[in-house]
């Protein structure tokens, strides 16, 4: 009774890759089926809601994968800034012959507000989840509560913006710049001054 897991997982994996590389609307059913090797009937068996339901599942899977990578980078680092830097190092590394780096959520997220409110909600949850991971690590660093949310939001914005610029320009240097900016931003933290004050 687990025979289906292969094609279902393959659909999610292929859809997640296509969403990362070209977004939601640009990903047609024909391309999805061709590149996943799954038949049309299987698609609508596993995802009766069609392309949109599959896209939701794919975004959730991508969001979880990023969250795991981010948690791992943050947990293994001496402080938040170093962890963010290591995460960006991983993001800059091209894996599995992907044509371009970048956030797997952002392309679909930006077209979602009007196209598909359901996808927008999923994307927003992903970003919130990542922001919470950064916030938790900042608290562990001793950041005062009143500035944790703001620092986490700005740090995530810095990451997302750098990934966007890197993809569009093809220049990986944007990631290195963001890495050093994160160090600067989180080093000039109110943690020290607030402890003193």
How many other CB atoms are found less than 10 A from the CB of residue 33?
A: 16
Does residue 60 touch its own copies according to CB under 8 A?
Answer: no
Contact stretch for DNA (CB under 7 A) within 46-54, 99-107, 127-135, 182-190: 46-54
**Per-residue H/E/C for the chain:** CCCCHHHHHHHHHHHHHHHHHHCCCCCCHHHHHHHHCCCHHHHHHHCCCCHHHHHHHHHHHHHHHHHHHHHHHHHCCCCHHHHHHHHHHHHHCCCCCCCCCCCCCHHHHHHHHHHCHHHHHHHHHHHHHHHHHHHHHHHHCCCCHHHHHHHHHHHHHHHHHHHHHHHHHCCCHHHHHHHHHHHHHHHCCHHHHHHHC
CB of 160 to DNA, least distance (A): 26
Does residue 115 touch its own copies according to CB under 8 A?
Answer: yes
> Nearer Cβ to its own copies, position 7 or 141?
141
Does residue 64 touch its own copies according to CB under 8 A?
Answer: no
Q: Which of 66, 74, 162, 191 is in the footprint of its own copies by CB under 8 A? A: 162
CB of 54 to DNA, least distance (A): 8
Does residue 195 touch DNA according to CB under 7 A?
Answer: no
Of residues 14-43, those binding its own copies (CB under 8 A): 21-26
Does residue 4 touch DNA according to CB under 7 A?
Answer: yes
Does residue 41 touch DNA according to CB under 7 A?
Answer: yes
123 Cα distance to chain centroid: 9
Does residue 44 touch DNA according to CB under 7 A?
Answer: yes
Which residues bind to its own copies, rule: CB under 8 A?
21-26, 99-100, 102, 106-107, 109-115, 120, 123-124, 127-128, 149-151, 153-154, 156-162, 164-165, 167-170, 173-174, 177-178, 180-181, 184-185, 187-188
């Amino acid at each position: 009774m687990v025979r289906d897991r292969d094609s279902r997982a393959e659909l999610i994996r292929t859809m997640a890759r296509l969403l990362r590389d070209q977004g939601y609307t640009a990903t047609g059913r024909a391309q999805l089926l061709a590149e996943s090797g799954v038949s049309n009937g299987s698609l609508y068996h596993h995802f009766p809601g069609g392309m949109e339901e599959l896209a939701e599942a794919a975004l959730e899977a991508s969001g979880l994968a990023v969250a795991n990578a981010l948690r791992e980078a943050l947990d293994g680092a001496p402080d938040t800034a170093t962890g963010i830097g290591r995460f960006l190092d991983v993001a800059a590394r091209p894996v599995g012959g992907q044509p371009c780096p970048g956030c797997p959520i952002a392309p679909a997220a930006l077209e979602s507000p009007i196209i598909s409110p359901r996808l927008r909600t999923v994307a927003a949850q992903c970003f919130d989840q990542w922001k919470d991971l950064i916030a938790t690590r900042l608290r562990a660093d001793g950041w005062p509560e009143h500035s944790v949310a703001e620092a986490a939001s700005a740090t995530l914005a810095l990451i997302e913006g750098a990934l966007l610029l890197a993809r569009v320009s093809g220049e990986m240097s944007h990631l290195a710049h963001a890495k050093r900016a994160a160090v600067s931003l989180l080093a000039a933290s109110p943690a020290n001054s607030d402890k003193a004050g």
